[in-house]
Copies of this chain bind each other. A is one copy, B any other.
Amino acid sequence: MALIVQKYGGTSVGSIERIQNVANRVIDTYNQGKDVVVVVSAMGKSTDHLIQMANDISDNPSKRELDMLVSTGEQVSMSLLAMALQQKGYQSVSLTGWQAGIKTEAAHGNARILDINNKRINGHLAEGNIVIVAGFQGLTDEEEIATLGRGGSDTTAVALAASLKAEKCEIYTDVTGVYTTDPRVVGGARKLESISYDEMLEMANLGAGVLHPRSVEFAKNYNVKLEVRSSIEKETGTMIEEEVSMEGNLTVRGIAFESNVTKVTVHGLQDDINTLAKLFTILSDQKINVDIIIQNTNGKEATDISFSLDSEVLNQALEVLSEYQPELNYDHITYEGDLAKVSIVGSGMISNPGVAAKMFNVLSSNGIKIKMVSTSEIKVSTIVSSTTMISAVECLHEAFELEERKTVEV
């Protein structure tokens, strides 16, 4: 029988009423003759509440015990959803990560799924059950509970869909799909019918925030069809799949943006062959993620390297760089905060070399100064001043003709 995996996030199961609503959505699918496996997150703010208790009790709670603690959140919501389905007359059984056969690596708080033994899930499905699985968690070889980190429930759903050879993996969320840009910011933002895995990855990484990048990568690797849709509205969502339907032959499919960016420049570094490697190894060893990196060699012995990062980790980065000054042997450091990143994303760019130039022209003709640039096959990112971020998004959205086509709609 065709199988659908559905994933409902914390907001979707945030109250008894919402769990009832989810139960109805699940039943609709089941009554269409599908087998259904449902992955749930913890209710609303319950994970935050658990972490708060841990922080109240310890300056630095161990990751192993944190996993023990927070993994209870999904166990609560899954059992409540199973009860709601049973109350409505449907057979249902809930399973923790370990009961569902989800094997992970031994990395507490940020484990990757290694394998799924789906024997037990298939057994419950064969008996006519709707199977509910706790998202975000699995079991290590040492029989330790490990959680998957941010976006973990999305990854659980995609991994289950791959393992169970599901027809589709539906990700239910509080938005109705993936938009050309954030509809809360740009009035004309339009919902996309479909988007490729790579485009979604670029959108997700750039802050579209609907799906976690890890789950999209996973879906791409196992060719799992994803649909992002609303847990409240009934309308069709956005399909994420390899073959994207021609949608007006859009070169640029969306505009992503994020604020809270700081640009750091390390001046006067020795221009050795391993300077870049040394600098970014030091930062990554301290778990400091940098985003755009620019190196400007000028033929002299010294070089300047600039990079952007989340403003929240600026102080940490400055401390680390100061500590390693003797080793890196740089001259001095400058930084500029209150920046934002604005990017255009679309797989059509590969065959359209003028896209980046058009983007720069649009921004400059609107008086927006570009401070850094980074390009890939399907994305061009610019760093601009925070104060110009929204007008940058708006003028790009218009220039690349992404608005709601109102004449067609009426």
Contacts and interface: CB of A to CB of B under 8 A. Distances in A.
Interface of A: 16, 19-20, 50, 53-54, 56-62, 64-66, 68-69, 71-72, 75-76, 78-80, 82-84, 86-87, 93-94, 96, 99, 120, 143, 145
Given A62-B86, A72-B75, A57 B19 contact: yes
Given A53-B16, A57-B19, A80-B54, A94 B65 contact: yes
A78 B79 CA distance: 21
B80 A53 contact: yes
Contacts of A78: 68
Nearest to A72: B72
Contacts of A19: 57
B80 A57 contact: yes
Contacts of A64: 93
A16 B69 CA distance: 14
A130 B165 CA distance: 44
Nearest to A69: B79
A50 B59 CA distance: 28
Sorted from nearest, which 9 A-B pairs have the closest CB atoms?
A72-B72, A68-B79, A69-B79, A58-B87, A58-B83, A65-B79, A61-B83, A16-B56, A65-B82
17 contacts: A16-B53, A16-B56, A53-B76, A54-B83, A57-B80, A57-B87, A60-B87, A61-B86, A62-B82, A62-B83, A65-B80, A66-B79, A68-B78, A68-B94, A69-B76, A72-B76, A99-B143
Contacts of A58: 83-84, 86-87
A74 to B, nearest CB: 9
B16 A57 contact: yes
Given A61-B86, A99-B143, 10 more contacts: A16-B53, A19-B57, A58-B86, A60-B87, A65-B94, A66-B83, A68-B82, A68-B94, A68-B96, A69-B76
A57 B83 contact: yes
A22 to B, nearest CB: 11
A40 to B, nearest CB: 12
A68 B86 CA distance: 14
A71 B71 CA distance: 12
A59 B87 contact: yes
A65 B64 CA distance: 26
Contacts of A86: 58, 61-62, 65
A79 B93 CA distance: 26
Contacts of A75: 68-69, 71-72, 75
B76 A50 contact: yes
Contacts of A59: 87
A27 to B, nearest CB: 14
A131 to B, nearest CB: 13
Nearest to A16: B56
Contact of A20 (B20, B54, B57, B66): B57
Nearest to A74: B72
A42 to B, nearest CB: 10
A84 B68 contact: no
Interface centre among A57, A84, A87 (most CB of B within 10 A): A57
A58 B79 CA distance: 11
Contacts of A84: 57-58
A294 B266 CA distance: 93
A145 B65 CA distance: 20
Contacts of A94: 65, 68
Of the candidates A50, A75, A80, the one having the most CB atoms from chain B within 10 angstroms of its own CB is A80
A252 to B, nearest CB: 46
